[in-house]
């Protein structure tokens, strides 16, 4: 969590869950939640749960939020669903480092006063009930649910997971064809870069990513089996690409003196390597760098695929909301 926002949260006595990137608790007598953006330090989502507590006329939260977006410099957007206010903050432009937290603070003071003055209350996002409400995090997003609505959400998540499992291995044959085609793109790139005299190993990363994408496109979904196949295909394809690259060099060097075809040259590569230790060490270096870059390139895609493939969507209760929290929003 961005250290200035963390300090602000500490000063206001909020609960901080650093790992989940959230701070929550009462500010000015209202329950608020501040969520840190995982990538950008000065980017936060502020949430408040505010349902009309029954006073007439029903306050126009949307109008109030529109006023806020023009008034608070770093408030990018604000929306209201009838029970939940979502305000997106981002520090942009000149001197945001100094002004970001004060801006966040004045917004929180104003919005919480608004909620109190208009007797807005916390309620379940599913059924609007004010009873038995707790704060949950589902797939990294905070929600207020009653226990019955959360049970429904948990059941839906479970069903999605089961369906993913039942989806089986997809089309493995199609996947293999896709992986081969993808890796082939990388191999062509490898050979071209080699001929231009640059470090062809950078094509290793492209190769494995293309293989994984190819598998997913023609195989339907990228399973663990698919990932293993893609890695094996790419590892083998690098060897082939290196041999073709070297074979082509030998061919162009010798074709003026001897009557040889490209395939003769290609086949002679192992003999050349055995005879010339310099070529051997250059090839080993190419391969090592190629495989390292391949591992780096594959990592992100594989991690994403495993996360998506498992169908596991994290969901947990963050904290229970008791009566005083709910009714501090007004009464
Ligand atoms: Zn509910």
Q: Which long-range contacts (CB under 8 A, 24 or more apart) does 148-152 make?
A: 149/124, 149/125, 150/317, 152/126
Domain shared by 188 and 138, yes or no: no
Global pTM value: 0.65
Domain shared by 19 and 149, yes or no: yes
Q: What is the pLDDT along the chain (331 residues), one digit of tens a residue?
A: 999 999 999 999 999 999 999 999 999 989 999 999 998 999 999 999 999 887 777 779 999 999 999 999 999 999 999 899 999 999 988 888 899 999 999 999 999 999 999 989 999 999 999 988 999 999 889 999 999 999 999 999 988 888 777 766 778 899 999 999 999 999 999 999 988 888 888 898 899 999 999 998 998 888 888 999 999 999 999 999 999 999 998 899 888 898 889 999 999 888 888 888 888 888 899 899 999 999 998 888 888 777 776 667 788 999 988 766 666 554 4
CA of 289 to the centre of ligand 1 (A): 55
CA of 151 to the centre of ligand 1 (A): 9
Number of domains, the chain: 2
Domain shared by 322 and 304, yes or no: no
CA distances from 27 to 72, 106, 227, 245 (A): 18, 11, 48, 66
Distance in angstroms (rounded) separating the CA atoms of residues 196 and 114: 66
**Residue 228 is part of which domain span?**
172-310
CA of 150 to the centre of ligand 1 (A): 7
pLDDT given at position 313? 79
In a domain, 209, yes or no: yes
Cα–Cα–Cα angle for 78, 79, 81, rounded to 5 degrees: 160
In a domain, 176, yes or no: yes
CA of 145 to the centre of ligand 1 (A): 5
Domain shared by 144 and 8, yes or no: yes
Distance in angstroms (rounded) separating the CA atoms of residues 134 and 154: 14
The answer for residues whose C-beta is within 8 angstroms of residue 32's C-beta and 6 or more apart is 14, 24, 25, 26, 46, 47, 48, 108, 111, 112
pLDDT given at position 331? 42
Write the CATH number for 94.
3.30.1460
pLDDT given at position 167? 66
Residue ranges with strand state E in the chain: 15-17, 22-27, 30-36, 43-49, 75-80, 84-90, 133-138, 141-146, 315-320
In a domain, 180, yes or no: yes
In a domain, 161, yes or no: no
CA of 195 to the centre of ligand 1 (A): 65
Domain shared by 139 and 272, yes or no: no
CA of 235 to the centre of ligand 1 (A): 52
Domain shared by 23 and 151, yes or no: yes
CA of 139 to the centre of ligand 1 (A): 18
In a domain, 163, yes or no: no
pLDDT given at position 230? 94
Domain shared by 194 and 245, yes or no: yes
Domain shared by 148 and 200, yes or no: no
In a domain, 162, yes or no: no
Domain shared by 147 and 286, yes or no: no
Q: Give the three-class secondary structure for 44.
A: strand
DSSP output for 75-94? EEEEEE-SSEEEEEEE--ST
CA of 33 to the centre of ligand 1 (A): 19
CA distances from 98 to 4, 14, 34, 73, 82 (A): 9, 21, 19, 13, 34
In a domain, 167, yes or no: no
């Amino acid at each position: 969590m961005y250290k200035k926002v963390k300090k602000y949260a500490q000063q206001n006595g909020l609960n901080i869950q650093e790992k989940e990137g959230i701070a929550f608790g009462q500010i000015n007598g209202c329950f608020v939640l501040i969520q840190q953006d995982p990538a950008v330090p000065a980017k936060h989502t502020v949430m408040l749960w505010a349902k009309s507590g029954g006073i007439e006329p029903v306050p126009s939260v949307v109008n109030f939020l529109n006023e806020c977006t023009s008034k608070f410099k770093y408030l990018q957007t604000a929306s209201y669903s009838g029970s939940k206010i979502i305000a997106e903050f981002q520090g942009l432009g000149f001197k945001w480092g100094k002004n970001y937290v004060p801006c966040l603070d004045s917004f929180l003071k104003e919005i919480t006063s608004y909620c109190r003055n208009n007797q807005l209350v916390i309620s379940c996002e599913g059924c609007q009930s004010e009873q038995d409400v707790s704060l949950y995090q589902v797939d990294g997003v905070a929600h207020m649910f009653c226990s019955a609505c959360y049970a429904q959400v948990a059941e839906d998540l479970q069903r999605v997971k089961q369906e993913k499992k039942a989806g089986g291995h997809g089309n493995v044959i199609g996947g293999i064809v896709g992986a081969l085609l993808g890796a082939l793109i990388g191999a062509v790139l490898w050979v071209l870069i080699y001929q231009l005299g640059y470090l062809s190993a950078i094509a290793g990363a492209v190769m494995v990513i293309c293989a994984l994408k190819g598998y997913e496109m023609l195989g339907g979904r990228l399973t663990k089996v698919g990932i293993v196949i893609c890695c094996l295909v790419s590892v083998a394809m690098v060897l082939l690409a290196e041999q073709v690259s070297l074979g082509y060099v030998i061919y162009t060097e010798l074709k003026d003196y001897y009557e040889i075809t490209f395939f003769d040259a290609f086949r002679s590569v192992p003999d050349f390597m055995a005879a010339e230790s310099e070529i051997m060490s250059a090839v080993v270096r190419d391969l090592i760098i190629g495989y390292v870059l391949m591992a780096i390139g594959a990592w992100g895609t594989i991690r994403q695929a495993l996360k998506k493939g498992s169908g596991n969507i994290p969901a947990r209760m963050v904290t229970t909301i008791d009566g005083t929290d709910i009714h501090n929003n007004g009464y």
